[in-house]
A and B are shown apart, each in its own frame.
Chain A
Amino acid sequence: MSEGLTRRRLVVLGAAGVASLAGPRGLAARSELEVGKPVSPDALPAREASWYKRLPERRVECQLCPRGCQVADAERGSCGVRENRGGTYYTLVYGLACTVHVDPIEKKPFFHVLPGKTALSYATAGCNVECKFCQNWEISQFRPEQVRSWWMPPKALVNLAQRLGTPLTAATYSEPVVFWEYVRDAAHAARSAGLRPTVVSNGYIQEKPLRDVLPLLTAYKVDLKSFRERFYKELVRGELKPVLKTLEVARAAGAWVEIVVLIVPTWNDSEAEARDLARWVKTNLGPDVPVHLTRFHPTYRLTDLPPTPVTKLERLWQVVRSEGLHFVYLGNVPGHPGENTVCPGCGATVIKRLGYRILDNRLKGDRCPDCNRKIPGVWS
């Protein structure tokens, strides 16, 4: 949640910039589409979806996220980016980037993945849930024809990352689950080019598509919105259980996983909930999975609450650490010691941060320079 984009802050590489960077190695454009050029709302490129089944009467069942939308002909699923055309299901956002931006990897936030490096971050319109506190609602809660988008097929995206010198890519900002075919092919292209693909997601995905893409990813960040179903029902229009399942599957598959929890005043800021969450993470994922507790700021449909008091965040930070998790961070509180990586063995600060900047990185390879304890992560 810390990487919100407002319309003003949203930096999209314009047509000329992307086109020139895509260069001769850019994907051969489809006849009506040119790499890096805006796509007309009336000519969205449709590509058959990879995870769905056909039902009688030209209906389909989407098998991408746990919502499992059953969609009649001419209709779209809840995410608004998948459409049934005569009994065949299509994604309307494959290669259709509405934002492409170079970010520090700390902004995602990944704190245990190539510190100080940058990620070519991209998104399409659409989301499979509707968080009332969404910071990126101007792209996540709209349909693709309502958002200005550019044709950036996977290879063009990777080509751009190479030219900009970003060693990582990140599917992020809106909800990568709804553009999962694009994520898969972009991750594949990134791997082939020696880049590291990452995903920042709500984790609300079915197991099959998750398993299909996990092996391609360097790191997977999940927004665990809360540890209570009530929160998911009332503020997210989603469910907690499938997200926990996703975390277990991802961790068991060996992907590097980090978790972010946005602390929303009065909704998920109780010590009891923080303790339950910490215990679940420790038991099911292990104590080495980083957990970022981040500060809420009022936005979208949740504007009647104040920002999370820093004292409250600090208290929850203590509670979660006291349950035995090794790497608990505070987010959206620049300059707080909770931004630093501390060795769980000797207590030495091994990475010092200020916001998204690395002030000091004392890691020796993957080890604490003081006690030689291994610090888990993707460091090189």
Chain B
Amino acid sequence: MSEIPWNVIAMQLFFGIALGCIFVLLSSGMSIIYGLLDVVNFAHGTFAMLGAYAVFVVVSLSDSFFVGIVSAVVIVGIIGMVIEFLLLKPLYGKDPLLPLLLTFGLSVAIPDFMKIVFGLIGKPISFPDALSGAITLGPLTLPGYRLFIIIFTLVVMISLWLFLKKSDLGMIIRASTRDSQMVQTLGINVSRIWTVGFGMGVGLAALAGAIAAPMMSATPDMGVDMTMTAFVVTVVGGLGSLGGAIVGGLFIGLVVAFTSYVASAYSSVAMYFCMAVILLVRPRGLFGEQGRE
């Protein structure tokens, strides 16, 4: 094998981080939902798909990609809260398998519904004009949109962190993740926190779907892969841990980027291989907490 030039490596690194950022957004949502509600959201990628379609619809109406992103989060977040309130709530405290079955059902039913409404063929979403160019950084030519993804994710994750650390609601969410019954005993209506948390979690999924959309166009079945990726990242990083979602997301992004460069057919195999190795070496994932209540 011939020597790989360093700027190719640097480019793959850059692509890997940009891809990883999408995974970070996706999996941090999954992690919040699991941590707070103990629900493994099988429909997580489905909500990302809804986010991509929301961008498609809003962009075709308003012609602004940024309005599209914001509306995607709001629309999907509200859909998520309604689903949690109407469908998931009655299942808590019963067989823990039931929420899993419900979200699995949603992951089948919602894409079918989207096929009826929007058709089988994917909807292309063009790059926003301001970001379609490239930025030259020394010998490297970095696609502007991917740079945007990285900066955007950084901003979102820092805001999320500040929200969880500094706000009252964030504090309640952190506390409820550990001991929701005690939080309720202190006078807080935890049931409402669960609704908000589910909305936030799928809102983050929608964000991932929305910013991924210009690179892959919105298709009804795009959620399947995204759910699987979110699973892999969450398992690698550790269930219910936000730090794990960040490290796991970037790690899997890099793995996929480098294997697709070397042997593109094996990129998802590599992802599952990493998951298997980490599970063997460290079953609770890189950042998983032990004995969470």
- Bound together: no
